[in-house]
Amino acid sequence: MLSVCSFPQVKLKIGDKAPNFLLQDAFGNSYKLSSYIGKSPVVIYFYPKAGSSGCTKQACAIRDDWNKFEKNNIKVFGISTDTKEDIKKFVEDYNLNFPLLSDEDKKVTEQYSVLKENGTAKRVTFIIDKEGKIADILEVKEIDSHADYVFNATIKLNSKSQKTNSK
């Protein structure tokens, strides 16, 4: 007799190795977390629903601050369980200039332990250091300050790693 088991989600914590992923954006471009390890810090923010008011506000704040992220070599990815079509509309409607990735099969959302019972992602952000370890986890409550918090936390992380490397 065969039985099907489901394994409980393991809650990730600071210091854990970030689970690798390979996802596509709305335009068919593939992004793999491991491609950025050793090169730059990565911000992965999970959001519930493309085009909803909170998600729009959050994405537009990152868009508006994009030059700061890019100038400091910080990679940012938004991930939701939306279809590529829904994400494409969201990107085009709001001129979003960074990759929003579709996790339609919910595997990555499950790996990061942020899948809600309704099938959408919790609003959680992971800051991954250059070594691929989770440096910070933010359960987003204040959408208005999300982009600033993430930028400042990543800059601190960068300066900390530069001090360590120069010793």
- Cβ 79 vs Cβ 159: under 8 Å: no
Tokens coding 25: 């954006």
Question: What distance in Å separates the CA atoms of residue 84 and residue 24, rounded to the nearest whole number?
Answer: 8
Q: Hey, which residues are catalytic here?
A: 55
Residue 24's contacts (CB-CB under 8 Å, 6 or more residues apart) are 30, 31, 84, 101, 102
Question: What distance in Å separates the CA atoms of residue 138 and residue 160, rounded to the nearest whole number?
Answer: 19
**Exposed / middle / buried, residue 47 (Cβ in 10 Å: 0-12, 13-18, 19+):** buried
Q: Which residue has the tokens 């790996």?
A: 111
- Cβ 19 vs Cβ 112: under 8 Å: yes
